[in-house]
Every structure is written in structure tokens, then in C-alpha cells.
């Protein structure tokens, strides 16, 4: 149950019954009909299905994969369908650091990285920070016994808002899934 005091004032609140439209109004999984079984590939971005999830348990067998292009398409469908994507403010620093690192390692040219950085300014997600996130990220870092807190801020934000955390970082997922069952991998 989400504590309503943590939902931003500009987010609409409704019951599932109010938002569903007929028998197909609500589907399981985050993608609904946007992901078909014939789109699975042998390697790529993992997709976990309902059969991988049991109460307080994750079954890591029979995992399916999709291409990076399909994962990007699904992301764009979230935006099109007005699904709010939130992130801690540090995501901007993380993205820019990754781009700078790729230039340094000769993977990206400066002009290409600059163009990608410019696109970050227009991504449709809400940046969130408050003092409680810092304390929560610190506590999560202690629980996970990590040396840096970057990932802990994402976990803290999801916990604070009472929403699932979706990540492509399987190392984070595997290290935190038992203590924080709201973490999912795409």
C-alpha cells in the first residue's frame, strides 16, 4: 500500500477499477501487448515474467531476453502511455560521467557524446531529491555493504515513493533483490 502523503500533488490518483477499460483494461507485466513471445532472442536484455516471481522469491530459470532496440521501444511506450518515470537527481551526473568515460576510452567521439548529453536534457522523467533520500540511501548502503551509494539512491527513491524499481543492472538486481523485493530487471 502506498502512503498517499508521498505521492506528488500533480499525480492523479485512481483505483484500478476506475482506470480499467473492459476485460483487457489491465494486463500483467509492465508491457502488456507491446511484447510478443516471438520477439525473444537468445541473448540481450533480460525480461522476467510472472513465472519467475513467487512470494518473496525469484526463480532465475527460463529467463527470456529481448534486443536493446526492443527495450528502447518499450521505454518509449511508457512515455507515450504517460507512465511517470522518476529518478534521483544524480542520474544526470551518472549519464554525463558515462559519456565522458566513453570519450576517454575512445568508444565515442566528443561530438557524438555531446549530442547524447544534449538529448538527456529532454528525456521525459522527473528528477527527485529530498533530505530523506540521503539518509535512506546511507542505510541501504549499510544493508548491502557497498562502498558507494549511487545505486542506493535509486533504491531509496523507489522505497520512498512506494513504486517498483526497474533496472538493466543485473549486478544491482542480484545483490539487492532479497532485501528489496520491489526491484525488477528489464
Residues 6+ apart with CB under 8 A from 150: 90, 94
pLDDT digits (tens, 9 = 90+) for 131-174: 888 899 999 999 999 888 888 988 998 998 888 998 888 889 99
DSSP of 105-155, one letter per residue?
TTSS-HHHHHHHHHHHTT---EEE--HHHHHHHHHHHHHHT-S--HHHHHH
5-14 contacts at long range (C-beta below 8 A, 24 or more positions apart):
6/160, 6/161, 6/162, 7/161, 8/126, 11/84
Q: Which one-letter DSSP state was computed for residue 63?
A: -
pLDDT digits (tens, 9 = 90+) for 83-94: 777 777 878 777
**CA 144/CA 54 separation, integer angstroms:** 22
pTM beyond cutoff 0.75: no
Q: Is the pLDDT of residue 4 over 70?
A: no
**% of the chain surpassing 90 pLDDT:** 14
Amino acid at each position: 500500500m502506498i502512503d498517499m502523503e508521498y505521492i506528488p500533488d500533480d499525480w492523479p490518483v485512481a483505483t484500478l477499477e476506475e482506470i480499467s477499460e473492459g476485460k483487457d483494461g489491465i494486463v500483467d507485466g509492465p508491457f502488456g501487448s507491446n511484447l510478443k513471445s516471438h520477439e525473444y532472442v537468445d541473448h540481450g536484455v533480460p525480461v522476467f515474467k510472472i513465472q519467475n516471481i513467487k512470494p518473496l522469491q525469484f526463480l532465475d530459470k527460463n529467463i527470456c531476453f529481448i534486443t536493446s532496440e526492443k527495450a528502447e521501444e518499450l521505454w518509449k511506450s511508457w512515455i507515450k502511455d504517460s507512465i511517470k518515470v522518476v529518478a534521483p537527481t544524480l542520474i544526470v551526473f551518472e549519464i554525463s560521467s558515462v559519456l565522458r568515460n566513453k570519450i576517454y576510452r575512445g568508444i565515442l567521439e566528443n561530438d557524438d557524446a555531446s549530442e547524447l548529453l544534449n538529448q538527456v536534457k529532454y528525456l521525459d522523467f522527473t528528477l527527485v531529491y529530498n533530505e530523506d533520500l540521503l539518509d535512506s540511501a546511507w542505510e541501504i548502503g549499510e544493508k548491502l555493504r557497498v562502498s558507494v551509494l549511487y545505486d542506493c539512491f535509486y533504491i531509496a527513491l523507489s522505497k520512498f515513493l512506494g513504486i517498483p524499481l526497474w533496472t538493466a543492472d543485473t549486478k544491482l538486481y542480484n545483490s539487492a533483490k532479497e532485501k528489496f523485493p520491489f526491484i525488477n530487471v528489464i
